[in-house]
Structures are given as C-alpha cells and as structure tokens.
Amino acid sequence: MVDSTTGLDPDDFTTLRLHESEDRVHAVLDRPEVRNAIDADMVTELHTICAALEAAPRILILSGTEVPGRDGTKKGLFASGADIGQLKERRRDDALRGINSTIFDRIAKLPMPVIAALDGFALGGGAELAWAADFRLGSESLKVGQPETGLGIIPAAGALWRLRELAGEAIAKEMLFAGRILDAQEALEHGLISSVHPSDELLSAADALADRIATQDPLAVRVTKQVFAMPRDAHPHVDNLAQAILFESEEKFARMQAFLDRKKRGSSS
C-alpha cells in the first residue's frame, strides 16, 4: 500500500523492508542471503527513500535483518559491506561516479535526523552507511570496521574523513590503515556509537530516540541540523539568520506560551 504522505510503496522494494508511521520511516536492509551486502539495487532504493524524505521530511531509522549463523541460529547483522561481486567488476569511471558516496552523502543531508541501529557486523560500506547517520546505537554483538585496504581499495564512501571527525585521528588510522575491527564497547569509548543495548532491545532503543526527537518542533530540528553542519567560519552569522526565521514561526509562539502556562499553573498549585 502506498503511503499517502511519502508516496512510498513497500511492494516496490526488494532489498529493503519499510515500516512507516506518521513521524518516521524505518528501512530494514534485507539481503540476508549475502549478509546484507549493499548492491546497486539497494543504492537505488535508498535514493527513492531519500527523495521521499526530502519532499516530506520524517525521521529515518536504518537497521539490518537477521541472518543464519554458523551454529544454525539467527543472528542480527547490519551490513557486511558493499557487494564484493559487483565491486570487483567496477572500474575507474564507476569510482569517479561515487556510487556509494553519493547516496551516503544524501542520507547524511536528509532534513530530519537519521538513526542507525547497528547489530552484529557493520563493515566496509556498511560502516560507512552508519557514519552517515546522525545517531548510531549498537548491540552488544556489534563489530564495526573498515577492511577495504585488505581488498586492495580504500573506503571511499565517507570513512576517510567522517571517521576522523567522529573518533579522532589515532583510532581512525588504526581502522583505516591496519583494518582494526572494534567491538561495541570500543566503539562506544571512541564515540562511534552513543549507547549499547542487547540485540532484542536495539530497535526499541532506536524508536525511543526517535520518539524524543519527534516531541521537538520539526522545523527547529531541521534548522538545527542544517546549521550544525555549517563550517566554523559561517557561525555565528548563520545562527542569527536561522534564529530570525524561527522567531517568526507560529510553532515557537505556541510552544513558548504552553511553557509559560505550565509554569504559571505550577507556581499557583
């Protein structure tokens, strides 16, 4: 059924499963047969979601699906990386097109926040997809890293600059140059994720974070995200301009009046 707000039809997607509500879209990476490897079809479907969320902004949650473990049990997995079969066939012109870097940058620039719920492995392109999110929550079984140099390439879809910004130069170099894989606690200590949860509580934690975001004024959240991404020399000028817009919004007046009314009732009780 097509969502009337976004125009998204879950039946049109083959590599992602969609769950939608009024204030969020949850996209589940769903290629368990190849450990959720990111292929050209998934990139196309992520572009479709971005187009819808640019037109009608909502929160985006990204997560993986369960895959069969070696012991026969189901285990959570975000994404094992880019599809190596397709990656092996790509040549110079494909690299210059920035196939994965373009979609990850588009995800990073979505109007409303993006939450990545990372269970199990988030490697290579899967990790770079996670770095593009505004928030990353991890499960206790998380393993995250950039093994690209072991395959004779570089992580060219954001890790070479986002990792340094997120975690600092020292650990970024270990991950990028030496292929170090971090577990959940290490990722938390280095600021790559904001919290750790049991696998069966991870999506509830992502929804709880989305709930907190959804209680804020959507326009104020959108403006805050845009201004936050501005270069240092744009501040404070862009802050003042953004605040000038919000100072005239009806939502600002309504929310501030509601705050004053609650304060007045509290002081008189």
Domain ranges of the chain: 10-214, 218-268
State residue 27's pLDDT score: 98
148 counts as catalytic: yes
For the segment 152-177, what is each residue's pLDDT rounded down to a tens digit? 999 999 999 999 999 999 999 999 99
Mean pLDDT, residues 95-124: 96
CA 223 to chain centre: 18
For the segment 113-162, what is each residue's pLDDT rounded down to a tens digit?
999 999 999 999 999 999 999 999 999 999 999 999 999 999 999 999 99
Which pLDDT tens digit goes with each residue over 208-220?
999 999 999 999 9
Considering the candidates 148, 169, 174, 248, report the single residue annotated as catalytic: 148
Question: Which pLDDT does position 84 carry in this prediction?
Answer: 79
Mean pLDDT of the 52-75 span: 90
Q: Which of 20, 54, 89, 128 is catalytic?
A: 128
**Does 248 qualify as catalytic in the annotation?**
no
Instruction: Return the H-helix or E-strand segment holding 77.
Output: strand 74-77
Q: Residue 148 has what pLDDT?
A: 94
Q: What is the DSSP letter of 215?
A: T
Q: What is the CATH number of domain 10-214?
A: 3.90.226.10
Percentages helix, strand, coil for the chain (3-state, rounded to 5) are: 50, 20, 30
91/222 Cα distance (integer angstroms): 38
How far is Cα 160 from Cα 9, in angstroms, rounded to an integer? 35
For residue 67, pLDDT beyond 90: no
